[in-house]
Structure 1
Amino acid sequence: MSLLHPPSHLTPAQALTLSQSAPAVLRSLPNNVGKSALQTVASPIENHEVWISYENLLISCLRTGDLESAQECIRRLVDRFGDSNDRVMALQGLVREAEAEDDPKSLEAVLKSYDEILAKDSTNVPIHKRRIALLRSTKKISEAVAGLVTLLDFSPTDAEAWAELADVYLEQGLYAQAVYALEEVLVLTPNAWNMHAHLGEVQLMAASTGSGSNDAATQRYAAEALKRFCRSIELCDDYLRGFYGLKLVTTFILKNASKWSKQIKTSSTEDFTLPDTETVQRLAQLATEKLSEIVRRNTAKEPHWSGYDEAEIAAARELLAGETATIVR
């Protein structure tokens, strides 16, 4: 388990294992900062991998409640970079949030400290993001949205902020706004197959909730979802979520196609056209075959087929089992 890997990708069990080894890891990592600029540059500690390790270890420790080790990590980061470094300030705030736990007064104090920092430097992106995360966790959704809009006003190329905004909108069932925000993410990261699939998921949700009430909007969302899932598997030909979404959207289209007109114009320049039924059926069959292969090879623990999330494999297995049961009946 490498400390250089993003800690958000670790399972709870892996994060716990890493946290439990934190004292030994901290003893093994260099932490002496040179007294002069020359000593600092020449020191073995001036390796970016060391500081990535400290940051990742800190986050894993916070996930598991090891505040003592987290505080030692932040102390060493402050010693090296100072407490006025934007990233270090955000990590300090993260530690204070963990220390506050669920105490409203303590969390409000942390939020106030973020406001004070931003009053002095309104372009401090890490602090903006910590503030938004804290607002979301305390259910201050409208303020979180306002914070994201403010952040994107001066940093419109921040794909992470657009994705966060989409997530906030999605939680509120505002599908059109979520779609818009995710489209901005793809403008910035056009080859991100996971974001193509996520946009397809949101569009399929919008189509499903609107089915029967507005056929034009429903068909448009379904057609766009189909395109997005196809693009995701074009970019990554073993992407489980892409094939899972493709299976869902083709099933949805085949179920509702008889109620829809073949083509609906939403403007004078833009047409949303679904493929013919035969093409949709072929795509559905492709999705079924690929999902079956992924589940089979992952279950058999074949080399190079073990990187899938267990919950996603279980969901794919359930989807395939449901289809088999339907065919048998």
Structure 2
Amino acid sequence: MTPSLLHPAGHLSAVEALALSQQAPAVLKSLPSSGKTSGASTLQSLLFAPVEKAEVWITYENLLLSCLRTGDFESAQECVQRLTDRFGDDTDRVLALEGLIREAQATDDKGLQAVLKSYDDILATDDANVPIHKRRIALLRSMGKIPEAVTGLLALLDFSPTDAEAWSELADVYLEQGLYGQAVYALEEVLVLSPNAWNVHARLGEVEYMAAATSAGGSDAASQKYAAESLKRFCRSIELCDDYLRGYYGLKVVTSYILKSGGKWPKQTNTGEDFAVPETATVQRLAQLATEKLSVIVRRYTAKEPHWSGYDEAEIVAARELLSEETSSVVR
């Protein structure tokens, strides 16, 4: 079944994006080219223009992104042209979409450098253009210019400190460099802005688990602190979303890690400032809960039960393998 063009294009698989892009000629023919009435005065346009629906322009943007993924630059250009006709060629978002097309069409580093210069030129006259800032940062990352990308993100957050997307991007860049402490800080800023985002709680738990596992071989106080915080984040994630597979998967992994590593850690002194690792019995109960819930999710998804089909296939496979590993170790 072909997905809707109203769904975020970034969530589509390659197969789904291809299916949508193949429909581009028919979709473009069926949609209005702009909200303007040809040959009419401004007053007539205001009085007699058809009722405009936001879904039309969302459709154009999502179709554009799907076409770029499959190399249909002609259809993508038609989409951005219709957006330009409607919103003007100096609109922040339209400028960013035009830049995205140029990025996709660039065949070498020289072409990408030209696009980067065009972004710099736009920002030189309009430093508050957030979409262009973000396209510039994404381009820098794709070109391997990580320090410049970090500088760009920090500059963006300087004047837009409530941009959760930028904080999340900064966390991702730090994580790629193994800077776990900085990545944790950036994700905590995301949670300040979106405290009930269960996926962000789980992501923070994953980063803190990685920090625990790599901190002095997992045997020092820093490892203990990160593991405790990771456990807390995964518990909060599944508290906010009862059937969140990634949350239960992370809870299973971190509880196993704590049960294996607890004997190597120094004795805890709970000052009240940090979350302490719970008693072993509590950790064991949490591990059992995670195992039971993962088993239920995998079983019901595999049986294709109603309302259990929304999981990512790769995550189901990973959960099944995790459960199989535990079963194998018990048998041995």
State the TM-score bracket (shorter-chain normalisation): over 0.9
Change (3 A) 1:216 1:42: farther
Of the three residues 257, 272, 285, the one matched with 2:288 is 285
Matched with 1:60 is 66
CA contact (8 A) 1:15 1:63 kept: yes
Of the three residues 65, 85, 103, the one matched with 2:91 is 85
Matched with 1:208 is 213
CA-CA distance at 1:3 after TM superposition: 1.1
Residue correspondences, number: 326
Q: Unaligned stretches of 5+ in structure 2?
A: none
- Which letter does structure 2 place at the counterpart of 1:82? G
Return the alpha-carbon distance in structure 2 between the equivalents of residues 327 and 318 of structure 1: 14
CA contact (8 A) 1:197 1:229 kept: yes
CA-CA distance at 1:243 after TM superposition: 0.2
CA-CA distance at 1:258 after TM superposition: 1.3
Return the alpha-carbon distance in structure 1 between the equivalents of residues 101 and 144 of structure 2: 20
Matched with 2:81 is 75
CA-CA distance at 1:47 after TM superposition: 1.4
* Secondary structure of 1:271's aligned partner: coil
User: RMSD value over aligned CA atoms?
Assistant: 1.4
CA contact (8 A) 2:211 2:226 kept: yes
- Which letter does structure 1 place at the counterpart of 2:256? T
More divergent stretch after superposition (29-38 vs 215-224): 29-38
Return the alpha-carbon distance in structure 2 between the equivalents of residues 64 and 234 of structure 1: 39
CA contact (8 A) 1:19 1:60 kept: yes
Correspondences of 1:116-127 after superposition (within 5 Å) = 116-127=121-132
Correspondences of 1:145-294 after superposition (within 5 Å) = 145-212=150-217, 215-264=220-269, 270-294=273-297
Matched with 1:307 is 310
1:255-276: CA deviations, max 9, x gaps?
01112234246xx661331100
CA contact (8 A) 1:262 1:273 kept: no
Change (3 A) 1:211 1:304: farther
More divergent stretch after superposition (253-262 vs 220-229): 253-262
* Secondary structure of 1:301's aligned partner: coil
1:125-166: CA deviations, max 9, x gaps?
000000000000000000000000000000000000000000
CA contact (8 A) 1:263 1:272 kept: no
- Which letter does structure 2 place at the counterpart of 1:98? A
Matched with 1:95 is 101
Matched with 2:49 is 43
CA-CA distance at 1:212 after TM superposition: 3.5
- Which letter does structure 2 place at the counterpart of 1:151? L
CA contact (8 A) 2:140 2:146 kept: yes
- Given the alignment of the two structures, is residue 106 of structure 1 paired with residue 111 of structure 2, yes or no? yes
Matched with 1:115 is 120
- Given the alignment of the two structures, is residue 298 of structure 1 paired with residue 301 of structure 2, yes or no? yes
4+ residue segments displaced more than 6 Å:
none
- Given the alignment of the two structures, is residue 13 of structure 1 paired with residue 19 of structure 2, yes or no? no
Matched with 1:23 is 25
Q: Unaligned stretches of 5+ in structure 1?
A: none
1:78-122: CA deviations, max 9, x gaps?
111111000000000001101114x11111000000000000010
Query: What TM-score comes out, normalization by structure 2 length?
Result: 0.95
Return the alpha-carbon distance in structure 1 between the equivalents of residues 46 and 37 of structure 2: 4
- Which letter does structure 2 place at the counterpart of 1:195? V
Return the alpha-carbon distance in structure 2 between the equivalents of residues 167 and 156 of structure 1: 17
Matched with 2:4 is 2
Change (3 A) 1:37 1:269: farther
